[in-house]
Structure 1
Amino acid sequence: MNWELPSPFVIDIEVTAEDIDGLGHANNAVYVSWLERCAWRHSQFLGLDLVEYRRLDRAMAVVRHEIDYLASAYDGQHLQMATWIVESDQRLKMDRRFQLMRPEDGATLLRAKTTFVCIELSSGRPKRMPAEFVEGYGKALMQPYPLEL
């Protein structure tokens, strides 16, 4: 695959009939669920799953999505979603980039950037990242990188 950034974390996605809307293609909200799935699997790969989030009383919560929908996905298609952690202040905020591609023709269907803020689960308030987040997410942090989508 011709990913726009090096060393992506990649998941496979199969478009199902349940993903299709009245216009005959995957609904925009489904793309957002794929972003979430990819981010969670990457977090789990880095050792930061829900069990660890609860133990630390911390989580990375979405505060902003920027999504460019470039092409449609259809029932039965095989897709690949990549993610990269492109920025982190290692205190409160972290940005991920995403790219969704269709391997059969190399088309990019979506580009996105999501900003997360660390919160304390017990209060829901912003709270400094614990050392485990700085270390775990820091392993995947890439620099230098282009900021624009």
Structure 2
Amino acid sequence: MSAKPFAFPIKVIPTDIDFMGHVNNARYLSWVQDVVLAHWQKLAPAEEVASKAWVALKHEITYRKPAFLDDEVIAETVLEKIKGARSFYNTVIRRGEDVLAEVKSMWCCLDSETHRPARISSEVAEKFFGLTSARKARAE
């Protein structure tokens, strides 16, 4: 069971552009990181945000269309499930109705001090999924 989508606006700037005149493919991955972290910071309690860090374990990206300088882009992410210290996200990057890229990613939550994997508590998962859905997501 997935959580509600979280939208994050992106402004394409000159440093995003590559030699072909469109956004460099690597920039899409940093946008995914930006939206996932913004989602965490918006919904997780302040003490969890302060005590946890996130690292990407895997990205699977499908590029559909290029983005260009000054495009107004939206990254919309959905937390699909939490399993132990891992979280699984689907992110779609759009310009208007055009899908520019689709990204499936897996992230590991770390304790900020020890840098060891840290499980997401049921109470925190509830902030993202709601009570019943959080239990289902953790059980998968």
TM-score range, shorter chain: 0.7 to 0.9
Query: CA RMSD for the aligned pairs?
Result: 2.7
Q: Counterpart of 1:127?
A: 118
Q: Deviations over 1:15-65 (max 9, x none)?
A: 11111011111011211111111112211220356x6333xx333321111
Q: TM-score, normalization: structure 1?
A: 0.76
Q: What is the correspondence of 1:100-119 to structure 2 with a 5 Å cutoff?
A: 100-103=93-96, 106-119=97-110
Q: Deviations over 1:118-140 (max 9, x none)?
A: 2222222223224553333334x
Aligned counterparts of 2:114 and 2:3: Cα–Cα separation in 1:
37
Q: Counterpart of 1:21?
A: 18
1:7, distance to aligned residue in structure 2 (A): 4.4
Pick the aligned partner of 1:53 from 49, 53, 57.
49
Aligned residues: 134
**In the alignment, does 2:129 pair up with 1:138?**
yes
Q: Counterpart of 2:80?
A: 86
- Please tell me whether the aligned partners of residues 58 and 129 of structure 1 are also in contact (alpha carbons under 8 angstroms): no
Q: Which runs of 4+ in 1 moved over 6 A?
A: 141-144
Q: Counterpart of 2:30?
A: 33
Aligned counterparts of 1:30 and 1:80: Cα–Cα separation in 2:
14
Residue identity (%):
26
**In the alignment, does 2:8 pair up with 1:11?**
yes
Q: Gapped runs of 5+ residues in structure 1?
A: 145-149
1:6, distance to aligned residue in structure 2 (A): 9.0
Q: Counterpart of 2:41?
A: 44
- Please tell me whether the aligned partners of residues 66 and 114 of structure 1 are also in contact (alpha carbons under 8 angstroms): yes
Higher helix share: 2
SS in 1 for 2:38: helix
Q: Deviations over 1:86-106 (max 9, x none)?
A: 1112x2221010001111xx1
Q: Gapped runs of 5+ residues in structure 2?
A: none
C-alpha spacing 1:12/1:65, structure 2 compared with 1 (3 Å): same
Q: TM-score, normalization: structure 2?
A: 0.80
